[in-house]
Each structure stands twice: as C-alpha cells, then as structure tokens.
Chain A
Amino acid sequence: MTPVHQTAAAPGSVSAPGAAPVPSATPPVPGADHGAPPAVPPSAAPRGAGPSRLRSVPGRVLVITGAAALALVLLFGALSSSFRTVRNGLDVIGHDAGPQVVATADLYFALSDMDTQVADVLLIGDEHGLGKGRKRALEVYERRRSDAGRAVLQASALAGGDPAERRTVQAVLDGLGRYERLAARAMLLDEQAGHAAGPPPRPVLELYRQATDLMRLELLPMAYNLTLESGTVVRRAHEEQSSALRTGQVLVAGTGILAVGGLAWLQVFLARRFRRVFNPALLVATAIAGTYTLTGFTVLGNEADVLHTAKRDGFDSVLALARARAVGNSMHGDQSRYLLDPERADTYEQTYLDKSQSVLYTPSGNLAAYYKAVDAGVDAYPAKNAFLGLVGQEADLARLPGSEAAIIEVLRRYQEFQQGDYLMRKAGPREAVEELVGRLETRFGAYDAALVKLAGLHKTAFDRAVRSGEEQVEELWFLLPVAMISTAVLIVAGVWPRLSEYR
C-alpha cells in the first residue's frame, strides 16, 4: 500500500501550494499587475473578474494540472496493484502449491513403497537370497519410512493455515504409526513361521491385510487427495490471476491514455497561452507516463503468458506425472499383493488393470488385451498417440525441448514393465515370486526413473517460468516509486514558473 499513498501525497503537494496562492493571487491579477505577464490574452482580464475563478488562466492551468495529476495517480495505482497481483500469483503457484505437490507426491510414493516392500519381505519368506533378497527389501522399507516421516513434516509446514489440510496431515501421521506396528508384527511372525517363497501362513496374511487395508484405504487416499488439493489451489489462483491481469491491462491502458492525454493538454494549453513551443519538464513527464503505460501494459500481457506457460507446461505436467508416479507405485504393489493373497488375487488383478489404465489408457477389457494394445500403441508412437490417461495425455503435449525423447523412453520402459507383468502372471507360484522380486522389480525401477526424468524437464520449465515472471515484475516494481516521484517533480517544475508569472 505504501507506494499508492506516496503517489497520493506527491500530486497533493503539487496542487496544494498552487491552490493556496490562487484565491489571493488571482483576483488582483487584472487590476494591479499590468504588463508583468508578457502574454496574457486580453480575454483573460474580463473573465477573471467574473464569478468563476476557474476561468482565469492560472485557474485553468491548475485544473488541467490537477486532472493530469489525478490520472497519473490512477495510472500508478493501477500499475502497482496489478504488479502486486502478479507477485501474489507467482508466490502461490511457484512457492506454495508447486512445492506442496512435490512434497505430497513424495509422501504418497514413500508410503506406497513401504507397503510394497513389506509384501515383498513376506513373499520372499525363508529364501532370503531370492531376487533382490529379503535384506534389501528391509533396507528399502526403512529408507521409505524415514522418507515418509520427512515428507509428512514438509507437507505439514506447507499446509499452512488450511484446517482441512492440517487435519489430513495429522491423520496420516497417526495412521503411519499404526501401520508401522502392524507391519512389524507381520514381518516378525513371518520370520518365526519360516515358509518357502510364496504366500505366507494364514495368521501372517491376516496381519498384513490389516496393515495394507490401513495403508491403501486410509493413508494413501489422504496423501493423494492432498496432492490434488494443491492442483485445485493452483487452478483457482491461475484463473483469478488471469482475469485480474486482463482487468489490470485494461485499467493501465485507460488510465495511461488519460494521464498522457492530460499532460499533452496541459502542454498545448501552456504553449498557446504563454507562447512557448515546448515545456521541456512536462515533455519528459509525458514521456515517462507514456513509457510506463506501454511497458506496464506489455509486461502485464507477458505476465499473463508467463503464468499460463508456468501452469500449462510446468505445473500441470508436474502434477499429472506426480499422480502417474503415485498410481504406478501402487500398481506395482498390487503385483506383490496379487501373489501374496490368493483369496484377494482377483481384486488385486482388477485394481492392477484399473491403475494401468489410469496411467496409460487404451480400450481393452482385460489384461491380455491391454498388453497387446500397449505393445501396438508404443510401437506407433510418436507418429500416432493412441493413449489417454495420465501419461498418455502428457504424450500429446510434448512441447519442451527433449520431452519427446523422454516420453518415448517412458513408454518403452512401461511396455517392458507390462511384458514383465505378463511373464509373472503366467509363471508357476515360485517362479512368479522370483520374477517379481527380480526382473520385474528392475523393470519397474527403470520405468519409474524415466518418469522422474520427464517430470524433471517440466519442473525445470516451471521454475524458469516462475523466475522470469518474478524478474520482469521486480524491475518495474523497483523503478515505480522513482517514476512517480520524478513525474511529480517534473510537473511542478513545468507548471510552477508559469504560475509565478501571475504573482
């Protein structure tokens, strides 16, 4: 608010000293001071004697000056409020919701992978050296546990004042403790039972069901919804900013026209009345106002584009890929759970297909048809994109340099991963477990890494757009008070000498 008050004060000081002399100075003009002003038109004298002081020359000078000054106040007001809007918008998108998406997606990933690793430990059973091995699964579990703890803290810090979000983060934290206890008991019981690779004994399975239900039905949805909520915040901020920017542009243009017009009017009036071709001070003031109008108008237009780019090429893709990664990890977990719990195998197979379809959609009623459709679609890309879904839609939007290659890589690794799924499902019980914690695990890791790389491209584009938006506004914002003070000084300098000719 301070800059606005400054502007309000500056023109006030222009007209206030002017206004004070007017009543005392004007009436004596026609009678007393003859000859002193060299260019007083004859008509001024009878008019000044009339009822309205505003008809006198200095009166009119003051009126025009006041009008120009008012238009300038409005112009600078419009500029400063539009710039503030932009800065708030960039703040929300760039430094609040953007990081919140990353933090909550990390949280989802860590939680989901914890549950997958527990399932793997239980599947490996006594055959500790199978595939990646039991020790490795336990190590990853521990690491994800601390990742999850860290991500909860970060999400909680970024949730700020929103009560619903804070409650959700708190609920995740509480649930995480319960989950860890259940998982620890299941793994301990499993170790004591000592079974061959494959589904564990019933008591172990029952404990794991409690744990995985807690994770999949309670904790993961909350983490996922937090990510979505950040998307909502950004979408709303973006819509508000865009319309505020459009309004800002119109206001800046309008007030700019009035200000420049007012100054030009003053210039013409003074030139005619005082027989001077130019008033240099006013000319410079007009130039500054004109420049600020044009630059402000252009920068606001640019900012609208910057916000749009930051959202479309950066944020939206980062969000979609974060969701794809979250869904992908839980889909990978469904493979472990499919082998672990034969009674629920049908459900886990269906949720696996559902999740696959939401990552990369292609019409297919069952898994066998899906594998085929994925093969065909990936081979046809990039000539033709046959896919929808979170990753599929990204494949349509390969706008950034390097993103097409990155998408091809994602699709190829995904195809290999799905082929691995086919091999696992048709293998015998023991081979299936070996496949899962061996080759399939590696393929999933490669697919996930490709996805992270693609998301990285968009994150960089996003950060760059936000930064460039901030820099553009920052420059003008910094010079705005200078422009305001200098125009005020120049107007005084241009008008004051003319007025003093009437003293």
Chain B
Amino acid sequence: MRPLGPRAGTAPTTRPAVLRTGAGVPGARRAGAVLAALALLVTGACGSQRPFTSILDQETLVIGVKPDQPGLGLKVGEGRYEGFDVDIATEVARRIGAPKVEFVTVLSSNRQDFIQSGKVGMVVATYSITPVSRSHVTFAGPYYVAHQDTLVRAEDRMEIDNVRDLKGRRLCQAAGSNSWRRVKEERQIAVELVPAATYGECVAKLRDGAVDAVSTDDLILAGFSARAGSALRIINAPFTDERLGIGLRKGDLDGCEAVNRALTAMYQDGTAEKLLKKWFGASSLALTFTVPQFEGCA
C-alpha cells in the first residue's frame, strides 16, 4: 500500500507548477529552483517502501538457529553452531549474497518475537509453517517437508506402534512448538501433557521417565535418537507433513523471493541432497531430494 504515498504527493506539488510557469514570467533563477525541487521529488519517489531493511540489504545477516537439536542446530562454541539447519542457512546466505553472517540462539518460544523485533533477520530453526505462524511471519520455503513421528523409551517400543497408542500416556509439550496439537487436538488422542522448555529437556524427561513420549518432526527425533543410542527409539509411524520454513520479518517479500530462488537452485544442483545425506543419511528416514512446494511469499 505504501507506494500510494509518494505518488499522491507528487501530483499536487507538480501540477500547479506547470500551469504557473507556462503562463508567467520565466527566469534562470526559477529554473534553478524547479530543478532543486525536482531533485527532491525524485529522491523522495525512490525512497524505501518498508519500515525495515530487507535481509538482502543488511550489512550483517543475523540468523537464528536452535542451540539444542543435534543434527539440526546445535551450539558447539561461542557463536558457533552445527547441523542441517545451520548448513542450509549458511548456503542460503551465501547465495543471496549476504556479506557477513552471524548465528544466534533462538528457541521455539522466542523465535517469533526475535523476528518481529528485528533481533534476527532470518530464522532457520525447524519452524513449522502454520496458518497462525504465517500471519506474523513471512515464510520462505519450506526448505524441507518433515513428518511428525514419535520417540519412546526402547522398553515401551512393543506397546506403542503408532500415535494412537499414546492414549492415556504422558506426552511432552515443548514451549512454543505446536507438535502436541497434532496429537491432542487434531487426532483427539487423550494424552496428558507435560510442559518443558525445549526438546532437549523433553528428551531428558523421557529418559528419566517423567514423560512417556516425545512427538515431533522426524528430523529432530533422528538427531536425538542417534545420540541416545539404544535407549530411545523412533516408532516409525509418521502421521503428518510438517513444512519447515525459513522465517523472515513480515513483509520482507524481496528477501523471501530471493531465498526461494536460492532453495530452488540448491535442490536443482544437488546441494540439498548432499546436506540431507550428510546429516540424516545414517538414519532410517525416507528422505526427499526434490524441491518442496513453496508457501508463497506473503
């Protein structure tokens, strides 16, 4: 809507000037004044159209990633992170021409605030695109479509075959994540929710026996189960499609479109396949190596 502003401003200021000078006394000084006014108008007309800087124009692109999800985003030192999300973010940043990149920690509970306040330019943190999150955040991608699955203790594996067997059991609810809704609200399975701050805490609770199951994206679970060895098992009964998007500030359409083009290129030239295999090749997950259906920048 903003482009209307400068245009509406141009018309009334310039039109009377045409009439006045056309009928009146010309002069070199006046011509100079007109030129000066023109210069002002032109600069005004070409000024920026949104109240913030697109990620394409930021000196340093600050990227939010998870600190505690092995395989996706894991903090390994001051300002240093590793995982699939981190590699995707690095590659995207390179392809959209970001001059300098800095990684910071975001959690499911604060990533939306961080984007809205401009603390981070871009969030690559297993961020599911949902109608609700989409109304606050502009999503590029999804860069991958994961599937919700369930992680249980190895000794419970025989009793829990699929998500419906969670009835009456304790399910971990990580703050800011909506995965539990898929079980309790959409599937309407009567589970008892046990809150936790992060999925790392959820997995710790699962080991301690404080919860019976952790249900979320299979990529997240694959990382944890690889670390836990034989103590924890994925039940391998995916029951949703989770579109993992790259969160940008609401309205950064230029940035969003550029990220989508970068993602398309990454899938076309095999970079995405290489990264997926690097981080999840050892797991039993069925991986998809073709570009996901984008959300559309809005």
Q: Which residues of A contact B (CB under 8 A)?
A: 164, 167-168, 171, 217-218, 220-222, 224-225, 228, 231-232, 235-236, 239, 242-243, 246-247, 249-251, 253-254, 256-258, 260-262, 264-265, 268, 286, 290, 293-294, 297, 301, 304, 308, 323, 346-347, 350-351, 353-354, 357-358, 361, 363, 365-367, 388-389
Given A221-B292, A257-B18, A389-B131, 10 further pairs, Cβ under 8 A: A220-B293, A235-B253, A239-B3, A239-B49, A243-B46, A253-B38, A257-B22, A265-B26, A293-B18, A347-B238
Counting from the closest, the 10 A-B pairs by CB-CB distance are: A365-B185, A221-B293, A261-B26, A346-B239, A246-B45, A254-B38, A218-B290, A253-B14, A265-B26, A260-B22
- Chain B residue with the shortest CB-CB distance to A355: B241
Asked if residues B131 and A388 are in contact (CB atoms below 8 Å), the reply is yes
B214 to chain A, nearest CB (A): 18
B251 interface residue, CB < 8 Å from A? no
Asked if residues B288 and A217 are in contact (CB atoms below 8 Å), the reply is yes
Asked if residues B290 and A257 are in contact (CB atoms below 8 Å), the reply is no
Asked if residues B241 and A347 are in contact (CB atoms below 8 Å), the reply is yes
- Chain B residue with the shortest CB-CB distance to A267: B26
What is the CA–CA distance of A258 and B35 in the complex, to the nearest angstrom? 9
B233 interface residue, CB < 8 Å from A? no
Asked if residues A353 and B45 are in contact (CB atoms below 8 Å), the reply is no
Asked if residues A256 and B18 are in contact (CB atoms below 8 Å), the reply is yes
- Within 8 Å by CB of B296, from A222, A308, A323, A363, lies A323
Asked if residues B186 and A250 are in contact (CB atoms below 8 Å), the reply is no
- Of listed B3, B187, B293, B296, residue having the most chain A CB within 10 A: B293
Asked if residues B31 and A250 are in contact (CB atoms below 8 Å), the reply is no
The 8 sampled A-B contact pairs (Cβ below 8 Å) are A164-B261, A218-B288, A242-B7, A243-B46, A250-B41, A268-B26, A350-B239, A351-B241
- Within 8 Å by CB of B291, from A221, A260, A323, lies A221
Asked if residues A228 and B291 are in contact (CB atoms below 8 Å), the reply is no
Chain A residues lying within 8 Å of B290, measured Cβ to Cβ, are 171, 217-218, 221-222
B11 interface residue, CB < 8 Å from A? yes
Contacts A228-B296, A231-B296, A365-B186: A164 and B18 contacting too (C-beta < 8 A)?
Answer: no
Q: Which residues of B contact A (CB under 8 A)?
A: 3, 6-7, 10-11, 14-15, 17-18, 21-22, 26, 30-31, 34-35, 38, 41-42, 45-46, 49, 131-132, 135, 145, 147, 162-163, 181-182, 185-188, 238-241, 253, 257, 260-261, 264-265, 268, 288, 290-294, 296-297
A205 to chain B, nearest CB (A): 16
What is the CA–CA distance of A358 and B181 in the complex, to the nearest angstrom? 18
Asked if residues B42 and A247 are in contact (CB atoms below 8 Å), the reply is yes
Total A-B contacts with CB atoms under 8 angstroms apart: 143
Chain A residues lying within 8 Å of B46, measured Cβ to Cβ, are 243, 246-247
Chain A residues lying within 8 Å of B42, measured Cβ to Cβ, are 247, 250-251
Q: Summarize B's interface: helix, strand, loop or mixed.
A: helix
Asked if residues A361 and B131 are in contact (CB atoms below 8 Å), the reply is yes
Asked if residues B186 and A224 are in contact (CB atoms below 8 Å), the reply is no
Asked if residues A304 and B261 are in contact (CB atoms below 8 Å), the reply is no
Chain A residues lying within 8 Å of B260, measured Cβ to Cβ, are 225, 228, 232
What is the CA–CA distance of A164 and B257 in the complex, to the nearest angstrom? 14
B6 to chain A, nearest CB (A): 6
- Chain B residue with the shortest CB-CB distance to A231: B296
Q: Summarize A's interface: helix, strand, loop or mixed.
A: helix
Chain A residues lying within 8 Å of B268, measured Cβ to Cβ, are 164, 167-168
- Within 8 Å by CB of A242, from B3, B147, B181, B294, lies B3
What is the CA–CA distance of A251 and B294 in the complex, to the nearest angstrom? 40
Chain B residues lying within 8 Å of A308, measured Cβ to Cβ, are 3
Contacts A168-B264, A256-B18, A353-B186: A261 and B292 contacting too (C-beta < 8 A)?
Answer: no
What is the CA–CA distance of A268 and B241 in the complex, to the nearest angstrom? 78
Chain A residues lying within 8 Å of B188, measured Cβ to Cβ, are 366
- Chain B residue with the shortest CB-CB distance to A367: B186
Asked if residues B297 and A232 are in contact (CB atoms below 8 Å), the reply is yes
- Chain A residue with the shortest CB-CB distance to B185: A365
- Within 8 Å by CB of B293, from A168, A225, A357, A388, lies A225
Asked if residues A250 and B296 are in contact (CB atoms below 8 Å), the reply is no
What is the CA–CA distance of A243 and B41 in the complex, to the nearest angstrom? 12
Asked if residues B261 and A350 are in contact (CB atoms below 8 Å), the reply is no
B226 to chain A, nearest CB (A): 24
Chain A residues lying within 8 Å of B6, measured Cβ to Cβ, are 246
Asked if residues B294 and A257 are in contact (CB atoms below 8 Å), the reply is no
Chain A residues lying within 8 Å of B181, measured Cβ to Cβ, are 365
- Within 8 Å by CB of A225, from B38, B132, B186, B264, lies B264
Asked if residues A222 and B22 are in contact (CB atoms below 8 Å), the reply is no
B166 to chain A, nearest CB (A): 12
What is the CA–CA distance of A232 and B22 in the complex, to the nearest angstrom? 42
- Within 8 Å by CB of A388, from B14, B31, B135, B261, lies B135
- Of listed A164, A225, A323, residue having the most chain B CB within 10 A: A225
